[in-house]
Structure 1
Amino acid sequence: MTRPLDTEERPPGTADGHPRTAQGAPVRRRRALLALVAGCLVFTGAGMGAGLLIKSPAQAAAETAPPSPDVLTAPVTRKVLAQSVLTRGTVSASRHIDITGGQAGGAGRSIVTAVKVRPGQALRPGQVLVEISGRPVFVLRGDIPSYEDLTPGLRGNDVAQLQRALASLGYGTGSDAPGVYGAGTGRAVARFYAAIGYTPAGSARTDSGAAGSEPAGSGSGSGSGSGSAEQPGPSVPWSEVVYLPAGAARVDIVAAQVGAEATDTLMSVDSGPLTVAGTVTPDEKGLVRPGQQVRISSETTGYDTTGVVASVATAPGKAGAGGDAAADDGTYAIRVTPSRQLPAGLVGQDVRLTIVAASSGKAVPAVPSAALSAGADGRTTVTVRSGNRERQVAVRVGMTGDGYVQVTPLSAGGLRPGDQVVLGTDAPTAPGRS
């Protein structure tokens, strides 16, 4: 029986006693090559990943740095420059009248028996305001305040005013001459009183002049007649009429209460054309003068119109000519007269006043004030930018207004309308910063 050979005794080229094939070596080489390529790919990918995750300090600083700043520019324009003062004002009537009880109601006690109006109410000529001891106090159109009883036989400007007021309400005075209280005026008075629901006073007037010295009522100017003849007829007691000038009239304050003594101020009335009362600071006061143009704007209603400065106070806290007093805060009162009648609905409203303190009068070359630079040599320049190129242009500065400055280049052709001038730079915020 034959004995198997030991390993050491096997022929070369065999592992298990069988001869090797010729293909074994190339297979091993291919496998080794594939393993090498795979390893290279793995290490390459790892390197690339590490490169994405790991940054040098320089690269990190570059990526977190803010973008390059943008250059802000504005064009050179031609425009009319206006130096303006902005303030606020309140719309009110040009005249404020306090109405007191006076001697209304006759010789007895003066008691408020009726209140016919309310605060804020618009008034019309002939309207009754209040009743005192059963007698009316009404308004008529006129500029002369009531100061004496108007009775038959009187002559004067106050009589003429009464006649005009009655005629405007449709109560003609017949053949009575202007300023003469005759029978026609008496009939007009009676008709008016009847229309408002009252009986006119029928008191007679006896003048103390010598009998026969002159015909009754021949006096002039003061409204007093002369002569001793008693002339009864419808009359108008001075305490029963309140004359208001032309224009809108409105009840401001009502203090009267039914049953109270009519001794103090019963109510106040605003009348006459509407104006605007405002104030300016001490710094602005030197820029504002009577006659300057004003833009009046109501943000509430959208109403917009023009006017002029009518008066400027000479001292803080005091009124200008015909104006209201300013508050005791160091400001100066101003009064603005509108160029046309303001709507009655604006009474009491706060409005914006834009006062044109100065104007160039015509279109001039102008740039935003931020475009100007002052050099160490005292010259004023602007920087003109075209593409990425910049050049400085020396200019002479004129008037300023509304954020713009008039500029004139010192060299011909150095600055033209449409040129872009540098205002500054806009540096964006760096990423991750606030």
Structure 2
Amino acid sequence: MNRTRVSPVREQSTDAKPPDEPPDEPPDEPGGAVAGSRLARRRRWTVVAACSAAVLSAGGVYAAQWVQSPAEAAARTRAPKPSVITAPVVRQVMRNTIVFRGSFSDGRTVSAAPTSVAVTQPAAQQPHALLITGVFARAGQRVGAAKPLVEYDARPVFALPGTLPMYRDLTMGEEGKDVAQLQKALHSLGWVTGSDPSGRFGVGTAAAVKRLYAAMGYAAPVTTSADTTSATEQSGSATQGTESAASRRSEPKATTMLPASEVVFVPSLPARVVSVPVHMGDAVKGPVVTLARGDMTLTGFLDPSERGLISTGMKADIFSEATGAHTGGTVASVGALVTPGSGLVTPGSGKDEPDDSPAGPQTDSAYVPVRIEGSGNWDKRFADQDVRVTITAAATSRAVTAVPEAAVAAGADARTTVTVVTASGAQRVVPVTTGVSADGLVQVTAARGHTLRAGDRVVVGR
């Protein structure tokens, strides 16, 4: 009996997922992983291939720029077409510009170096040490008369107008030119000296000195002296017969005086302070203040070959490269030739005065000193500066036709010519005669039958 095997039929699930639900995750099977790996590799190779193609394309474009044909190479190395360099013809006054170095100096100076301290009360004891107790001035400052500059041991050092140096203390009864200078200085400040005759330090002069110190805020210095008078002046006519020849000494008394350690005379005020080499508390061992006896002086050092181009009255331009200061001046004098080893000559004087002149240039070459004055007091920024001096001098009295020196050519026949380039580019040769030259230009006059006008272009190089 035949038996038929019936295979079991699997029942299909009727639980279908709704269409809006996401599909199930792919099964984690080996076959799916292999397929994803192959797809990623293909993508990577595609990107690499594309990048390589881009690089090769860019390299080809760059390399193509360096590839040239033989014709192109020859064209690039061929010499350029010849051309000319031109400059305009001008019509102007010919001027020479002379540039040389100059140096500012203080000229003569005067210093105050106290050696003693004046007292303000009779029989007062003088201090043993001299110490700086005040500094009121600074280098470069301009100071007037009767103004304390430095103070030592509470005593002032000040300036008064005058040319004679203060070489002694001035006390009651002193006579001389220095007393007359003091009286003149006191009068200029408004303090009269009473009935004292000129050149004699009397009661009126002493009173004026006392007022001078009071105006500065200090007590006037005094000195103690014994006054000797005749008996006739003291006893009267009653004792004239018996004491006519006798004298007696009165009690010592204090009188106002002017100490040499406290005042310095300067020819003109205000004066410029050259240096104040002390500070508060320093011991006095030398000059405490130095003043210029006049304003700064400027001396230029001119090349002897240019001596004929400079004359008095010419305007000068002065410039300090170090400070940037700039000003004008006027040539005051042109001195004699100075040669190495001969010493310095004061401009315009012909005499050697090394103490009153600035040091010459640091060179072994000869020079001509040129003294230059300013319109007023020099700017203090020029003090002790080495400067550039520029002077422009006219070489012709009127406007002339001129061309650059490089435009003039000399032929084998000794003729001088210039070559004019026309607007169309054509060139024509113009014979000329030359005149004065200045600042790279030369005066020219066209030969008869030829023209040369301002604005024409002439050849100066090829």
- TM-score, structure 1 as length reference: 0.66
Contact 1:248/1:273 (8 A) holds in 2: no
CA distance in 2, matches of 1:118, 1:156: 33
CA distance in 1, matches of 2:150, 2:272: 14
Contact 1:368/1:403 (8 A) holds in 2: yes
Matching of residue 354 in structure 1 with residue 377 in structure 2? no
Select the residue among 368, 373, 382 that pairs with 2:418.
382
Superposition CA RMSD, Å: 3.9
Structure 1 residues 250 and 392: alpha-carbon distance in aligned structure 2, compared to 1, 3 A threshold: same
Select the residue among 201, 218, 235 that pairs with 2:257.
235
Task: Say which SS state the counterpart of residue 84 (structure 2) adopts.
Answer: strand
Task: Say which SS state the counterpart of residue 214 (structure 2) adopts.
Answer: helix
Amino acid at match of 1:74: A
Partner of 1:80: 93
Task: Say which SS state the counterpart of residue 442 (structure 2) adopts.
Answer: strand
CA distance in 2, matches of 1:378, 1:205: 95
CA distance in 2, matches of 1:108, 1:161: 30
Partner of 1:159: 179
Give 1:403 deviation, angstroms: 2.3
Give per-residue Cα distances to partners, 1:222-273, cap 9 Å, x unaligned: xxxxxxx999742222332112232553333333355655443434333423
Give 1:156 deviation, angstroms: 4.7
CA distance in 2, matches of 1:337, 1:180: 41
Task: Say which SS state the counterpart of residue 238 (structure 1) adopts.
Answer: coil
Give 1:308 deviation, angstroms: 0.8
- Tell me whether 356-365 or 321-330 shows the greater mean CA deviation: 356-365
Structure 1 residues 235 and 333: alpha-carbon distance in aligned structure 2, compared to 1, 3 A threshold: farther
CA distance in 1, matches of 2:146, 2:368: 34
Contact 2:112/2:263 (8 A) holds in 1: no
Amino acid at match of 1:111: L
Contact 1:395/1:407 (8 A) holds in 2: yes
Give per-residue Cα distances to partners, 1:349-381, cap 9 Å, x unaligned: 554311346633433322222222233333333
Matching of residue 123 in structure 1 with residue 143 in structure 2? yes
Give 1:415 deviation, angstroms: 2.8
CA distance in 1, matches of 2:197, 2:429: 82
Contact 1:153/1:181 (8 A) holds in 2: yes
Give per-residue Cα distances to partners, 1:264-288, cap 9 Å, x unaligned: 3434333423332444456667866
Amino acid at match of 2:456: D
Select the residue among 344, 350, 363 that pairs with 1:319.
344
Give per-residue Cα distances to partners, 1:33-84, cap 9 Å, x unaligned: xxxxxxxxxxxxxxxxxxxx97554x64335535435433222223233323
CA distance in 2, matches of 1:241, 1:335: 35
Structure 1 residues 390 and 295: alpha-carbon distance in aligned structure 2, compared to 1, 3 A threshold: same
- Tell me whether 314-323 or 379-388 shows the greater mean CA deviation: 314-323
Contact 2:307/2:368 (8 A) holds in 1: no
Provide the aligned length of Structure 1 versus Structure 2.
Answer: 351
Give 1:309 deviation, angstroms: 4.9
Partner of 1:138: 158
Structure 1 residues 363 and 126: alpha-carbon distance in aligned structure 2, compared to 1, 3 A threshold: farther
CA distance in 1, matches of 2:309, 2:253: 61
Matching of residue 336 in structure 1 with residue 360 in structure 2? no
Matching of residue 113 in structure 1 with residue 169 in structure 2? no
Give 1:324 deviation, angstroms: 0.5
Amino acid at match of 1:113: I
Partner of 2:329: 306
- Tell me whether 237-246 or 113-122 shows the greater mean CA deviation: 113-122
CA distance in 2, matches of 1:166, 1:85: 48
- Tell me whether 246-255 or 256-265 shows the greater mean CA deviation: 256-265
Amino acid at match of 2:223: S
1:7-22 alignment runs, 5 A limit: none
Give 1:404 deviation, angstroms: 1.9
- Tell me whether 338-347 or 197-206 shows the greater mean CA deviation: 197-206
CA distance in 2, matches of 1:269, 1:104: 21
Select the residue among 434, 439, 451 that pairs with 1:397.
434
CA distance in 1, matches of 2:208, 2:311: 48
Matching of residue 275 in structure 1 with residue 275 in structure 2? no
Partner of 1:416: 453
- TM-score, structure 2 as length reference: 0.63
- Tell me whether 364-373 or 158-167 shows the greater mean CA deviation: 158-167
Matching of residue 62 in structure 1 with residue 75 in structure 2? yes
Give 1:192 deviation, angstroms: 1.2
Give 1:421 deviation, angstroms: 2.0
Task: Say which SS state the counterpart of residue 256 (structure 2) adopts.
Answer: coil
Contact 2:103/2:358 (8 A) holds in 1: no
Partner of 2:170: 150
CA distance in 2, matches of 1:144, 1:257: 28
Give 1:396 deviation, angstroms: 3.3
Gaps (5+ residues) in structure 1? 1-52, 208-228, 426-434
Structure 1 residues 110 and 391: alpha-carbon distance in aligned structure 2, compared to 1, 3 A threshold: farther
Contact 1:255/1:265 (8 A) holds in 2: yes
Task: Say which SS state the counterpart of residue 415 (structure 1) adopts.
Answer: coil
Contact 1:249/1:269 (8 A) holds in 2: yes
Partner of 1:194: 214
Contact 1:110/1:263 (8 A) holds in 2: no
Gaps (5+ residues) in structure 2? 1-66, 120-125, 228-249, 347-355
Structure 1 residues 247 and 258: alpha-carbon distance in aligned structure 2, compared to 1, 3 A threshold: closer
